[in-house]
Structure 1
Amino acid sequence: MPKEMGYARPVSTGAASVARQSSEDNWDLRWPQSIRTYTKMSREDSQVKSVLKAVIQPISRTPWRLAPNGADDEVTRIIAEDLNLVVQGEALDDPIIRTPRRASWNQHLRRALKWQLVYGHAFFELVFDDASATEDGLTHLRKIAPRHSDTISKINVASDGGLESIEQRSVGKLTSVTIPVDRLLAYRLDDDADDWVGESMLRAAYKHWRLKDQFLRLEATVLDRNGMGVPVSKSGFEPTDEDMQRLEDIVTGLRSGDYAGAVVKNDELLEIKGVSGQLVSPREAISYHDSQIARTALAHALNLDGKGGSYALAEVQMDLFFQSLNEIAGQMAETANQHLVRDMVFALTGDSSGPFPRIVFDTIEAKKSLSPQDMAALHNAYLLSDGPKTEAHIRRSYDLPAEDRPDLTGSPDPEEDT
């Protein structure tokens, strides 16, 4: 086969070269400076945190399973146990044999989701047990170890756009280390630049966050200055310098309180002046920028405030939002299937030809509750008995419990022996 002739991007020589090659025109948002900025946004702003939770919680709470996908049953069982996942077809409340290893798909998913959304990328190191040290003599996944974005000093990318390795900086007694791609599980969001930095979901919200922060400070100043009014003093006839200084001290030091007050001479005047004319409030601008922050995640429904016919659009908006959630979850599942499950199977069996199990998830959508009349209608239409796939879909869609399966083991009924 002929070799690849072109390139996706020039080969980087360090973090600084990555910043120079980036198409980002805001230096505060160029990696690695962007890590501090996005961390501040996600920690301090209530609307940003709300939007992140609106995206993370539905994806992390939807049921995730391991589908056999034609793989060997024993291999599927071991992979499911190592990831603490239920095998597709089993009830979610079935007990899972918890292994002594620390890998957990659900815990990993929540962290990977947050990092990917906030920073645009998320890196993890796959740590496997030595087969000679395990109880069954097999190589198991022991840990999906997080590699925090603020510890990474360099992302090495090949000319074809493929990830080669990441480098972590030395800190204290810890020396710098290079982790090759075959030990990494890497997620990235909207990486059109092929630099493996990705694009944060908060990128489009940055300017709204900055302006909103300024307006919040302005609002505090407006309330502080105009809530009580502005003290104004008028001096008496032919005031001395001492009189002017005394009056200045009075008006600048006057504060509201239970014992607030001031004493002036008979020919002097002290009054509290309110704002004349219309007082411009930044609250409307703050609300606008809040709504624009929610739009970056297609979370328009977070902006509904009951004005006019806003709620008439809620269903359409939420449908679009759920589609975006399913797309994010699908991308994460695809990455995990290619670079986590396959590596686990290869470490376990030494076979890289497949078929491999697949991590799958239930479609994210609004859960609907059923009334007794709805249940009766489903039962009378035989929809709850129209094949196991149809029944399973209906039970998942309406958050119904799994079907009680009869005991087919042939064990005698204890009441029959009496």
Structure 2
Amino acid sequence: MTAPTTPSGYTSEVTSQWWDDAQHETAPELRWPNNIEVYDKMRRTDAQVMSVLRAVTLPIRRTAWRLDPNGARDEVVELVAEDLGLPIVGRQTLPPVRARDRFSWKEHLYHALLMLPFGHSPFEQVYRIEDGQVRLRKLEWRPPRTISKVEVAADGGLVALEQVSSTTGRAARMPVDRLVVYVNDREGGNWLGQSLLRTAYKPWILKDRMLRVQAQTVDRNGMGVPVYTASDREIVGESAEDRQRREQQEVARGQEIASSVRSGQTAGASLAPGAKLELLGVSGTLPDATPPIRYYDEQIARSVLAHFLNLGTETGSWALGSTFANFFVESLQALAGSVADVATQHVVEDLVDLNWGERERAPRVVFDAIGSQRDATAEAVKVLIDARAITPDEPLEDFLRLAYGLPAAAPSTRQPDVDEQEES
């Protein structure tokens, strides 16, 4: 048996330069590129959609991101850490030398997580040459709505992305060796990904319609409908034609009065003798749109495993809060892991390859476990010191003074650290 070195089948049709399943979307309005505008509208106009997106993204953005040396040489680790603005695992964190015109990891992470609503979030690499070294200047975000073409190889690998200017019509082709593309739930050669909001689309659009019905119900029936009843008085000696003409004029005038009824300090109406003006409400019970609206909100939260957003409405109790939160946090861990993998492969390793070659060992991007941060209480610090897990030195004292809002220690009264105590 010989080891196969070339594939016989394909993942994506080369002739189509496309991931065929991307056009198998059953909802026409959610087929690319129309879906970009739909998902953008969902996140900008619906409070529940924005709430679930923030519930997913904010913990990932808040957790500490670091650079793990991963056995790489100090020179390599320090250059990558400086360019990415990330602290090195196990080393003291130092502020960057300059921030202006430099790469910002926080800003990059925010734009990278836009792959969640849009399915994909591409970046183009931009470098600078300093002292004979290739340094990362920035990763320029390419908005998903500007992507006009996706070129995919037969094995499903990305070949290039293309943008077309909406003003000049000029096309810009970006090959894969200049790209960093974050994709949510990528399957094979589908570099457009799957929006996190796809399963929330149906409850969102039904909820939007129900909100309109609710607003119309209040608007039409909140004050009641003005109804004018003409008088039935008779005038002695009036002919039938004159009476018919008078009644028509009175009804027309009554319609004007009813249509102009408004609330306010100057509101009022003048009626003919025997006429009547009433505000009549709807007889019977009006449909209540609140329960279906609440149900649709619950389904939107369920689509991202954020069940805890529904506690108190869906379950009526907080008893299951910890169980729901655990599932949700695990999903965030997996999502942050995919971001770290892409950043390591296509940002860190590209930077190392450009400076030292492809055989040089590269560090990797890592993050603290989401939800693992704990406040450093005085009792916890004392237990760690008594157990000799940490050493009471100057950096620890400075940190505790800052954490508890205490003034900085004066040099004359500062306690000597452990090394000074041993020497004395």
Alpha-carbon spacing, 1:64–1:30, altered in 2? closer, same or farther (3 Å): same
Q: Does 1:275 align with 2:274?
A: no
Deviation at 1:121, TM superposition (A): 0.4
Aligned to 1:109: 109
Mapped contact 2:84–2:104 kept (Cα < 8 A): yes
Mapped contact 1:66–1:88 kept (Cα < 8 A): yes
CA distance in 2, matches of 1:375, 1:291: 41
Alpha-carbon spacing, 1:163–1:242, altered in 2? closer, same or farther (3 Å): same
Aligned to 1:110, the other structure's residue is in SS state: helix
Provide the TM-score with structure 1 as the length reference.
Answer: 0.85
Aligned to 2:247: 240
Amino acid at match of 2:197: L
Give per-residue Cα distances to partners, 1:202-237, cap 9 Å, x unaligned: 111111111111111111111111111111222222
Amino acid at match of 1:5: S
Amino acid at match of 2:91: E
Give per-residue Cα distances to partners, 1:283-324, cap 9 Å, x unaligned: 221111112111111111112237875201111111111111
Give per-residue Cα distances to partners, 1:314-365, cap 9 Å, x unaligned: 111111111111110000111111111110001122x112321000000101
Alpha-carbon spacing, 1:36–1:326, altered in 2? closer, same or farther (3 Å): same
Mapped contact 1:212–1:285 kept (Cα < 8 A): yes
Q: 1:384 aligns with which of 389, 403, 413?
A: 389
Mapped contact 1:140–1:347 kept (Cα < 8 A): no
Q: 1:158 aligns with which of 153, 162, 167?
A: 153
Mapped contact 2:19–2:152 kept (Cα < 8 A): no
Alignment of 1:328-339 (within 5 A): 328-339=335-346
Alignment of 1:116-265 (within 5 A): 116-129=115-128, 131=129, 134=130, 136-173=131-168, 175-192=170-187, 194-237=189-232, 240-265=247-272
Alpha-carbon spacing, 1:148–1:41, altered in 2? closer, same or farther (3 Å): same
CA distance in 2, matches of 1:234, 1:294: 51
Alpha-carbon spacing, 1:164–1:228, altered in 2? closer, same or farther (3 Å): same
Aligned to 2:97: 97
Q: 2:13 aligns with which of 10, 18, 22?
A: 10
Deviation at 1:175, TM superposition (A): 2.3
Q: Which moved more, 1:303-312 or 1:316-325?
A: 303-312
Aligned to 2:239: none
Deviation at 1:368, TM superposition (A): 4.4
Aligned to 1:87, the other structure's residue is in SS state: coil
Amino acid at match of 1:30: R
Q: 2:370 aligns with which of 364, 376, 390?
A: 364
Aligned to 1:204, the other structure's residue is in SS state: helix
Q: Which moved more, 1:2-11 or 1:353-362?
A: 2-11
Alpha-carbon spacing, 1:25–1:174, altered in 2? closer, same or farther (3 Å): closer
CA distance in 2, matches of 1:195, 1:148: 17
CA distance in 2, matches of 1:301, 1:186: 31
Aligned to 2:277, the other structure's residue is in SS state: strand
Aligned to 1:360, the other structure's residue is in SS state: strand
Alpha-carbon spacing, 1:266–1:367, altered in 2? closer, same or farther (3 Å): farther
Aligned to 2:389, the other structure's residue is in SS state: helix
Give per-residue Cα distances to partners, 1:96-148, cap 9 Å, x unaligned: 333665212221011111x201100010001121x3xx2x2211111101111
Deviation at 1:44, TM superposition (A): 1.1
Deviation at 1:154, TM superposition (A): 0.4
Structure 2 alignment gaps of length 5 or more: 233-243, 392-398, 405-415
The number of equivalent residue pairs is: 389
CA distance in 1, matches of 2:178, 2:226: 68
Aligned to 1:74: 75
Q: Does 1:340 align with 2:347?
A: yes
Alpha-carbon spacing, 1:186–1:268, altered in 2? closer, same or farther (3 Å): same
CA distance in 1, matches of 2:309, 2:92: 33
Amino acid at match of 2:117: V
Provide the alpha-carbon RMSD of the alignment.
3.0
CA distance in 2, matches of 1:97, 1:370: 29
Structure 1 alignment gaps of length 5 or more: 387-394, 401-405
Alpha-carbon spacing, 1:370–1:141, altered in 2? closer, same or farther (3 Å): closer
Identity fraction in percent: 41
Give per-residue Cα distances to partners, 1:217-270, cap 9 Å, x unaligned: 111111111111111222222662222222222222212222222222222221
Q: Which moved more, 1:146-155 or 1:3-12?
A: 3-12
Amino acid at match of 2:119: G
Alpha-carbon spacing, 1:100–1:219, altered in 2? closer, same or farther (3 Å): closer
Mapped contact 1:123–1:184 kept (Cα < 8 A): yes
Amino acid at match of 2:9: G
Aligned to 1:301: 308
